[in-house]
């Protein structure tokens, strides 16, 4: 179990009941460590109310290209992407870059 803050920015909040910031307690699947991959599964399973909205967030089992994922303001590419182990108080943000400018 880990307590993290998740943010949906750049218009992504529309599929999360228009709420940008969510405080989550994510249960671990096996053992006690919770990775970002587990967090993403948790979001998809529990937070997206409308099933057709899942494709907006996820593609081929990972965050859709065009959505920027930051772990504590660091590009998740530099943190091992889905393998990053979350700690209490971490902030994970998802920002869509796909809408018009």
Partner 1 sequence: MSFTPPSDPRKPKNVKVSQLCELCHARKALIKRPKNLQKVCKLCFFHVFETEIHNTIVCNKLFENGEKVAVGASGGKDSTVLAYLLKLLNERHGYGIEIVLLSIDEGIVGYRDDSLATVKRNKEQYNLPLAIVSYRELYDWTMDEIVACAGVRNSCTYCGVFRRQALDRGAAKLGIKHVVTGHNADDMAETVLMNILRGDVARLEKSTAIMTQSSGSPIKRSKPFKYAYQKEIVLYAHYKKLDYFSTECTYAPEAFRGTARELMKNLEALRPSCIIDIIYSGESLRLRPKKAKRAPPVNHIEIRSDGSVSLPPQGFVDGNRCERCGYLSSNTICKACMLLEGLQQNRAKMSIDHDTSVNGAARLTRTLEKLTF
The CB-of-22 to partner 1 minimum distance in angstroms stands at 11
The CB-of-86 to partner 1 minimum distance in angstroms stands at 12
CA 54 – CA 48 distance, rounded (Å): 7
Closest CA to 7 of 67, 85, 59: 67
Please say which residue, 32 or 73, places its beta carbon nearer to partner 1: 73
Applying CB under 8 A, the residues found at the interface with partner 1 are 5, 7, 9-11, 14, 20-21, 65-66, 68, 70, 72-75, 77-78, 89-91, 93, 95-101
């Amino acid at each position: 179990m880990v307590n993290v803050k998740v943010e949906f920015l750049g218009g992504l909040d529309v599929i999360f009941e228009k709420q940008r910031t969510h405080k989550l307690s994510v249960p671990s699947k096996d053992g006690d460590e919770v990775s970002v991959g587990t967090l993403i599964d948790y979001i998809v399973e529990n937070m997206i109310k409308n099933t057709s909205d899942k494709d907006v967030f996820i593609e081929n089992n990972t965050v859709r290209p065009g959505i920027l994922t930051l772990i504590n303001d660091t590009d998740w590419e530099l943190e091992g992407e889905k393998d990053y182990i979350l700690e209490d108080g971490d902030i994970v943000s998802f920002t869509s870059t796909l809408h018009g400018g």
